[in-house]
Structure 1
Amino acid sequence: MNIIFRLIISALAAFATAYILPGVRLDSFLTALILAVVLGVLNLLVKPVLVFLTFPITVFTLGLFLLVINAVIILVAAKLVNGFRVDGFWWALLFSLVMTVINSFLVSLGKRPEDV
Structure 2
Amino acid sequence: MGSFLVRAGFTGLALWLVTLIVPGISFVGGETTVQKIGIIFVVAVIFGVVNALIKPIVSLLSIPLYIVTLGLFHVVVNALMLWITAWITDHTTHWGLHIDRFWWTAIWGAILLSIVGWLLGMTRRNAERALS
Assess same fold via TM > 0.5: yes
Structure 1 runs of 4+ aligned residues shifted over 3 Å read none
The match for 1:105 is: 119
**Identity across the alignment (%):** 27
1:36-115 matches, cutoff 5 A: 36-81=44-89, 82-89=95-102, 90-110=104-124, 111-113=127-129
Tell me by how many angstroms 1:94 deviates. 0.8
The question of whether the paired residues in 2 share the 8 Å contact of 1:58 and 1:65 is answered with yes
Structure 2 segments unaligned to the other structure (5+ residues)? 29-35, 90-94
1:112 is paired with a residue of what secondary structure?
A: helix
CA distance in 2, matches of 1:107, 1:62: 25
How large is the RMSD of aligned CA atoms in angstroms?
Answer: 1.8
Bigger Rg, structure 1 or 2: 2
Answering whether residue 47 of structure 2 is matched by residue 33 of structure 1, we say no
Give TM-score scaled by structure 1 length: 0.89
- Paired residues in the alignment total 116
Deviates more, 1:89-98 or 1:23-32: 23-32
Structure 1 segments unaligned to the other structure (5+ residues)? none
Tell me by how many angstroms 1:114 deviates. 5.3
Give TM-score scaled by structure 2 length: 0.79
Q: CA, structure 1 residues 16+60, in 2 after alignment: closer, same or farther (shift >3 Å)?
A: same
2:26 is paired with a residue of what secondary structure?
A: strand
The match for 1:13 is: 14
1:63 is paired with a residue of what secondary structure?
A: coil
